[in-house]
Amino acid sequence: GENVEQHPSTLSVQEGDSAVIKCTYSDSASNYFPWYKQELGKGPQLIIDIRSNVGEKKDQRIAVTLNKTAKHFSLHITETQPEDSAVYFCAAGLSGGSYIPTFGRGTSLIVHP
């Protein structure tokens, strides 16, 4: 089965800095890679996703890159703000009728004002 490793487990930055969270996956068949943001007391929320036929995707201050050869993908947040503070999860899986992604263990991002 799929195995997803996520690093770092905790990331502390100053407001305005960039933050990068990295994930590696093991199953080369995986083709869908979402990222979720979980704020305190809430459920995870999908913030961006990327498919294996794309190398990079950007949405305002967040971007995701995918390296299929190396089997790793990363979340990049630029110009961080205190409201970016949350736990971020990556996931990997094979899209299809019984799609069940494997989640990383999460990264707690703290943005200091």
Partner 1 sequence: DTAVSQTPKYLVTQMGNDKSIKCEQNLGHDTMYWYKQDSKKFLKIMFSYNNKELIINETVPNRFSPKSPDKAHLNLHINSLELGDSAVYFCASSPAGFGGTNYGYTFGSGTRLTVV
Binding residues for partner 1, rule: CB under 8 A, are: 32, 34, 36, 38, 41-46, 49, 87, 89, 93, 95-101, 103, 105-106, 108
Reference 2, options 104, 106, 102, 100; nearest CA is 102
Q: Please report, for residues 25, 31, 34, 44, the alpha-carbon distance to residue 107 in angstroms, rounded to integers and kept in the order given.
A: 16, 22, 14, 12
Based on CB atoms, which residue is closest to partner 1, 82 or 100?
100
Cβ 62 to partner 1 shortest distance, Å:
14
- CB-CB contact of 44 with 86 (8 Å): no
Measure CA 72 to chain center. 11
Provide, rounded to whole angstroms, the least separation between the CB of residue 16 and partner 1: 26
Minimum distance from residue 15 beta carbon to partner 1 (Å): 24
Residues 6 and 23: beta-carbon distance below 8 Å: yes
Residue 63 or 87: the one with the smaller Cβ distance to partner 1 is 87
Chain centroid to Cα 103, Å, comes to 10
- Phi/psi for 83 (5° steps) reads -75, -5
Least distance in Å: CB of 93 to partner 1?
A: 8
Nearer to partner 1, 78 or 108 (CB): 108
Nearer to partner 1, 42 or 69 (CB): 42
